Homo-oligomer: A and B are copies of this chain.
Amino acid sequence: MEAAAELFAEKGFRATTVRDIAEEAGVLSGSLYAHIDTKEDLYLEIVRRAADDFSRAVRPWADAGLAPAEKLGRMIRAHLEVIGASRAWARVYLDDDNQLSDATRRQARQLRRDYERWWDQVLEEGMASGAFQVPDETMARLFILSALNGMIRWFRPDGRLTAEQVAEAYVILVKRVLGAIDTSAP
């Protein structure tokens, strides 16, 4: 799985062969086929596990007993931490890969949509309570998640900024996008 994620992220889905994956993992292609049916299955399994990683980190905050702006800040930190920590898996997950069969692509999209619902939930909550003010919730969610996910393209663990510093700055910028008023203030 790890070997496949690295290769899919580096070379793309189509250009990666099962033989490449087996070589990278240090096993024979034959033994790999004992565990997986097709390369697409392997891809979906990676997306599924990455979706789990993101959900496990973010969902508890979406459901926490906190004000919407506070929840969102925690969700952003958790989301960016997953991106910063596991780049290959996250990249495979976030890329809407155009080299897959329609059926696999649809399933991968569904897994992403399921995760995005935690964000929708908190955005709606904030809109309902008046903590957030945006003209269109869907556009706000697309804008915000694109901004956050863009980090996968430029972030380097050995770069000028740590993932925590990026998160710190991005929390402020996202709250501005939402016209966030922290209603938890006394």
Contact = CB atoms under 8 A, between A and B. Distances in A.
Interface of A: 9-12, 14-15, 96, 98-99, 134-136, 139-140, 142-151, 153-154, 161, 166, 169-170, 172-173, 176-177, 179
Given A9-B98, A10-B98, A146-B147, A140 B173 contact: yes
Interface of chain A, helix or strand or loop or mixed? helix
Contact of A173 (B98, B134, B169, B172): B134
Contacts of A169: 135-136, 139, 143
A12 B14 CA distance: 9
A149 B143 CA distance: 9
A29 B60 CA distance: 56
